[in-house]
Each structure stands twice: as C-alpha cells, then as structure tokens.
Structure 1
C-alpha cells in the first residue's frame, strides 16, 4: 500500500494555480481533480501530471462542487493509500504545511489531523477581517450545536485522514456542499461510538495561511446556511 495522496479539487483555476509549486514538489502523491472547469484548467492539470510523476489527475465532466469532487477523488484512489488528505487549489495552506500535517498524523493515533487557522505568536495567518469574523461565527454555531468538541476551525481546507477511515467516510454523497467538513466529523463520530471526537481528531495550528481574496463562497451560499444546518441536524442528530 502506498503512503499518502493529497486530493486537490480544481474549478476554473487557470489564473491562480501555482504551477511551479506543483512541478517542484515531490514529498507526497497529489491527485488533481478537475471539477468540470470551463477554462483551461483541464489542460493545465493534464500537463502537470505528465511533467511530475507524483501527480495524477481525474477529470469530471461536469461541476459537482468541492465536496463531491473530493469524494470522487477518494473513490478513484480505491484504498491504495495509507493516508489521504485534501487541500484547496489556491494553496492558501502550502504543500509544505501539508507535509508537516502528514508527519504529525503518521506519529499519532488520530483518525484525522486537521489544520487550524488559529493566529498565535510566531504564526503568519493573513485573513481578511470579514471572512475571519463570519468564519468564527459559523464555527461557534457548528461546534456548540453539532460537534460539542471544542473544535476551532472545521472549515480549514487542509485535512489528513487515515486511508481506511476515508473510504468509509466518503462512501456516500454529502447533504451539503460547503459544510461537508462538518458532516465528515459527524460521520466519524457516529462510526466510533466508544470514542469522543477529541480522541479521534487533532487540530494543528498552521504556521502560515494566506487569504488570496478569491473566495468561492458566494452570498447565495451564505443565505443557504440555515437550510444546510437543518439538513445536517436532520441526518446526523
């Protein structure tokens, strides 16, 4: 069984994909998933897979959203990796930071190790204030109602998961597109009845995280939050 593969969903990324970063990195396997892009993303990913032997690509015919694109990536890997991760295409969390999370996961018994955009002394967390404020508000609601585990940042797009666990957690489609990270944690909690989330999940403050300002979360998505919360509550609680 191979070691680690990090899945990166890509939708219309031709203007912000850091090609050089991908071409020069070889610490772990990367699966780039083209989520039905309408620009030249498809061809960029294809070219990266040719030039870097540690990169492969999966082409989806239509846009299915981040949650389903990652799920399709997990299914595509067919349990061949001991560890599976996922990461945002803009590399706001760098590939080097992911390597650090992977090493932490390898030396622990946690099922999931997740990055956290917690601004502490020595860290470089550059995030627009309104996104930080809205993110904290949503995270507080999520943890107080659904998780109750003191998790600071469910929505950080950098997570490392035990391979077998990932196959189980991503087996079926998610109810929501944007809050699927919350569903993932609730699925983990349900599958491990004798363990609390604090025993299964470790949050690691990131050393560096850069907000590129190009949020894929629209105002329409924000308006759908109450419905998303309801769907999660109905299915998991």
Structure 2
C-alpha cells in the first residue's frame, strides 16, 4: 500500500466543511484532505500544506498545536521569527535555532533544551562560542570543542567528559599538550604522545601504559630513546631500538 494511502487510513480526515480554505485552496487543488492539510493532526500533511502554501505560515505561528507551530516556523519569513524565541515547546525553538540570524542566536544559548543548544553551538560565531564552554551537557561542549579557536581550548583540557578532552587533544596547539600529559584516559595520552613537540616527550615517557610509551618511542630523540631501551615492555624496547638504528643509519658520514 502506498505511504500516502496508509497515512489516510490511520489519520482522521479534517472537516473541510469548517475549513477557511474550502472555497479557495481546496477548489484549486492547493490542499487535499488526507494528503495536504493544515487542519490535520499529521506533521506530514501540515508540512505539505505549508510547502505548497507558505504564505499562510504566519497565520499559524501562534497556533495551539505545537507541531503546527513548529512546521509553520520552517516557512516563516525570518523577520517574523523573534516572537517564537520563547515558545514553550522545544520543537518550535529547535526550528528557530536553525533559522534565526546570528544576532538572535545568543538568546537561545542557555535554552533548557539540549538539542537547541547543540544547534546554537554549531552555528554561533566563534567569538561568542566560548561562553558555552561551561554548558552542563557534555554533547554541547563537544560541539564547542570542535569549533572553538585553538588558542581558546585551554579551559577544556580538564573537562569532566573524556570525549570533550579527546577532541581538545587533537586540536590544541602542540606546544600546549603538556597540560594533558597526565590525562586519566589512555587514548587521550596516546594522542598527546603522537602530537606533542619532540622535545617535550620526556613528560610522558614514563607513562604507566605501555602503548603510550610505545608512541613516545616512535618519535623520541636519540637521548630519550636510550632510556627506553630498558623499558619493561618488549614492544617499547624494540621500537626504541629500531628508531635508534634508523637514526644512526641516517647520520651523515664524517671524513676522518
């Protein structure tokens, strides 16, 4: 059975006799019971109606049905969006978070709905983004960590969520990675060992996890490699030995 027919069977048809559009849109084929209808309690039918007749969206911006308001908000001219910024339903505010101009996004920065704040964090200009670094929801802070300018990531190096810190570890300037050398998560310390300046690798060369020390051995300077030849883990010792051998073989020959 086609999807449209299935929806007609499951969604009660609106009463066209009481509809304001009966004499114009209905007769013109611009709306259709069970398929393209603003009076139906069906999001798909309402959306089809506004898609075909966006000029009527402002008439429903304050409608009593939350889904009708939310769908109407998708089709409203942007100058008519501000009154909906404090709409009581989060579905309406989620639409606004995608659509309002940047200068109005700040009003949604502390919205009670996480999805609204995530969209704001994804759209907000960088110079306004740092204020969301203390958001109580980790996923909002993830979006902040992905977009915050590298030089402003310091405040997130000790974030309570490991996913936020992992993003910080991949983005923070390499010279500052020493701040994360003792992170609680092994994966994050491995990223630190892979990215930090070679002269700073000694900070993490005694890490309790051998996989971190292995990453150090792959990049360390010869003097640090010497100390890793006595590492308790064979894989680390082998890596250090191989890297030392490679360094020696690439040294230029000196004339006697």
TM-score over 0.5 for the pair:
no
Q: Identify the structure with the greater strand proportion.
A: 1
Q: Which has the higher helix share?
A: 2
TM-score by length of 1: 0.23
